[in-house]
Amino acid sequence: MAVRSTAAPPTPWSRNLAEPKVHETAFVHSFSNLIGDVRIGANVIVAPGTTIRADEGTPFYLGENTNIQDGVVIHGLEQGRVIGDDQNKYSVWIGKNACITHMALIHGPAYVGDNSFIGFRSTVFNARVGAGCIVMMHALIQDVEIPSGKYVPSGAIITSQQQADRLPDVQDQDKEFAHHVVGINQALRAGYLCAADSKCIAPIRDENAKSYTGNGITVLELERSSEVSSNSLGAETIDQLRYLLGQGYKIGTEHVDKRRFRTGSWTSCQPIEPRSLGEAIAALESCLNDHSGEYVRLFGIDKGRRRVLEAIIQRPDDDAKPATSFKAPTSHSNSSYSSSNGNGNGSSSGKVSGETLEQIRHLLAGGYKIGMEHVDERRFRTGSWTSCKPIEATSTNQVISALEECIASHQGEYVRLIGIDTKAKRRVLETIIQRPNGQVASSGSQKSFTSNAAPSATGTASSNRLSSEVVDQLRHLLASGSKISIEHVDQRRFRTGSWTSTGQIQASSEREAIAAVERQLGEY
């Protein structure tokens, strides 16, 4: 990669036309600019978008193993010099193992010592920063000398020597962080140099092309399979197969007839152990053909023998389209799920809402038993609920089937879901999932219970400052009888993990807990 370097232009104060001198082991990105007498030592990395311009103040020195990150500007005034470690005069001296991070400005006369760290968008002008200093983000250091080994917090403005002398010392974890950044950038330097060398990068490309997924299928084979098609499988199903194989998952399929579908009694098809995407498609088509007129579903199996990306790909009406179009999941996607008992997390025929499905999963994960109750409109006013058939299931699929059976048997009535703590013999959740008009009640009909069984209408509690995830977390903590506490820490102490407790929150309802948390947020 060619370096964009230019000789210093002739000016009234200099006509030497000096050019940059870059050590052969350094990496300077072609999208950076070097002008004039810039001396770059061994193993330095200069990232894209940097400008190092020694056309006014000159010369500049960058010591070995130093990294100059994206957007950094290094310039100097025509007047003013600092004494470098070699006892010569420089407009800008940056020592060894230094980190000048994104968008920082080093404007000469300026000295930055060995092993120092200059944070994002910080400025050093007409100043000396001693060896081993840590300067955090958005700081200004001007007209002062920072003693060696000092810590400058983010946003600090250090313009008097008295301020500089009062700065705290760098802690061991700060030194470790700076050392880690140097190591990362050295790895990047080596990687960029390798990428620019065909002899270095070619074997790596070949190795990647031949790399295997957990199924023994090469990534190259999957890439070449983009034109694979099927008459009986939709494009979404093929994409799902390709994704599962590419992630190293095993492939599983199951089938069930209409009668057994309601009870969740699925039967496995013949195991699929493909050596290519084409073989996987053929095996899946065989399962569909053998069980036409039935439900068929596809899923992946991870190394922990848990299911992921379960989807129905055939229904009794021979509609082979999945319920939803497949999209490769992100790390936060709900499309990928697992079950601790290996039975999957289930899919619904549409009678059970997504919210209810999540409640079932949380209850099962917490070891709670699940129950169902129903009541007609007349008895609803007196609270005379009647239990549905007991649910002894431990898998989400079986619970959903039992719920749907209760709902179907009591159309035109109220039906509610119950979470039961069998050890404490108390209810932890009540939520109406069907009303007489067929509509599912909103979360406002939900009740959760604290350890003393005192109910609170938590479903209507909300917060403008707290996310829904935090409110849900508070709800589950209260329902399980847990105590709640808050801790806080400033930015400086965050790095050391020195959190301070505000004490236990005394709350008997979700509303009180939310209000207490909001007060703590406002105070800190």
Query: Could you identify the residue written with the tokens 């810039």?
Result: 38
Taking each helix axis from N to C end, the angle separating 235-246 and 277-290, rounded to the nearest 10 degrees, works out to: 130
**Token output for 72:** 């950094």
CB-based contact 247:298 (threshold 8 Å)? no
Catalytic residue, from 56, 221, 294, 510: name it: 56
Per the annotation, the verdict on 56 as an active-site residue is yes
**Token output for 146:** 């920072």
Cα 235 to Cα 243: distance, rounded to the nearest angstrom: 12
Three-class SS state of 313: strand
Cβ–Cβ contacts within 10 Å for residue 14, how many? 18
Q: Is 181 exposed, middle or buried (0-12, 13-18, 19+ CB in 10 A)?
A: middle
The pairing of beta strand 92-94 with beta strand 21-22: unpaired
Three-class SS state of 327: coil
Cα 19 to Cα 11: distance, rounded to the nearest angstrom: 15
Q: How many CA atoms does the CB half-sphere of 92 hold within 13 Å?
A: 30
Residues sharing a CB contact under 8 Å with residue 145, sequence separation 6 or more, in sequence order: 127, 128, 130, 161, 164
Cα 409 to Cα 413: distance, rounded to the nearest angstrom: 10
The pair phi, psi for residue 17, each rounded to 5°, is: 55, 35
The secondary element (H helix, E strand) that includes residue 428 is strand 426-434
Residues sharing a CB contact under 8 Å with residue 18, sequence separation 6 or more, in sequence order: 7, 8, 36, 37, 54, 58, 59
Cα 133 to Cα 178: distance, rounded to the nearest angstrom: 10
The secondary element (H helix, E strand) that includes residue 60 is strand 60-62
* Eight-class DSSP state of 201: H
Catalytic residues, by residue number, are 56
